[in-house]
Amino acid sequence: MPSRPSKTLDTFPNPAPSRDYLIHMEIPEFTCLCPKTGQPDFATLLLDYIPDQTCVELKSLKLYVWSFRNEGAFHEAVTNRILDDLAKAVRPRFMRLTARFYVRGGIFTTVVAEHRKKSWEPQPKIDLDAFPAQSNTR
C-alpha cells in the first residue's frame, strides 16, 4: 500500500536520555504553496535538536513534511508551525528549525525558529581547536 501524507508525528524513546547530544536532519524536498499565487514554494529544512525523553521517527517526519505540499502558507508561518508541531510531539531540550526557501521574485528567504525547554541550559561548548595537537616525537 502506498504511503500518504499525514499530520501525525510518531516518536520513540531516546536511547541516551542522560546525555545531551545533537540530532541533525536535512530535508531537501519540502514544498508548500504560495498563499498569494498558488505556485509551489521549495525549501530545504534543517532540523537540529537535543532530545529529552523521545526522538522523532523518520518515516512519520517524512509523511508530515509531505502533508504541506498542497497547503498555502507564508514562509514564516509554515516554519513556526512545523517547529511548534515537532516541539509538541518530541518535547526536546532544544530544537531549531531553519527553513531555506529557494528564490521567489528574486529573493531567497531563510527563516530560523527555536524552542527551548524552560529548565534546560546548554552544556559549555568545548573548543578542541584551543588545545594544540601533541607531537609523538620527543
Condensed to tens digits (0 to 9), the pLDDT of residues 22-81 reads 999 999 999 999 999 999 999 999 999 999 999 999 999 999 999 999 999 999 999 999
Percent over 70 (pLDDT), the chain: 94
On whether residue 136 sits in a domain, the answer given is no
On whether residue 101 sits in a domain, the answer given is yes
For 97, phi then psi, to 5°, come to -115, 120
On whether residue 54 sits in a domain, the answer given is yes
Rounded to two decimals, what is the model's pTM?
Answer: 0.88
- Could you give the number of structural domains in the chain? 1
Q: Give the domain range for residue 107.
A: 11-130
For the question of residue 41 being annotated catalytic, the response is yes
Looking at residue 88, what DSSP letter applies? H
Domain at 45, CATH number: 3.30.1130.10
CB atoms near residue 95 (< 10 Å): 22
pLDDT tens, position by position, 76-98: 999 999 999 999 999 999 999 99
Q: Which of 5, 15, 18, 7 is CA-nearest to residue 93?
A: 18
On whether residue 138 sits in a domain, the answer given is no
What is the pLDDT of the chain when averaged over all its residues?
93
Select which of 10, 20, 32, 34 is catalytic: 34
The pLDDT assigned to 137 comes to 60
On whether residue 137 sits in a domain, the answer given is no
> Residue holding cell 532540523?
47
Q: Helix and strand tally (H, E) in the chain? A: 2, 6
On whether residue 3 sits in a domain, the answer given is no
On whether residue 4 sits in a domain, the answer given is no
CA distance 44 to 30: 6
Distances in whole angstroms, Cα of residue 70 to Cα of each of 1, 8, 47 = 21, 17, 22
Select which of 10, 20, 32, 41 is catalytic: 41
pLDDT at 128 over 70: yes
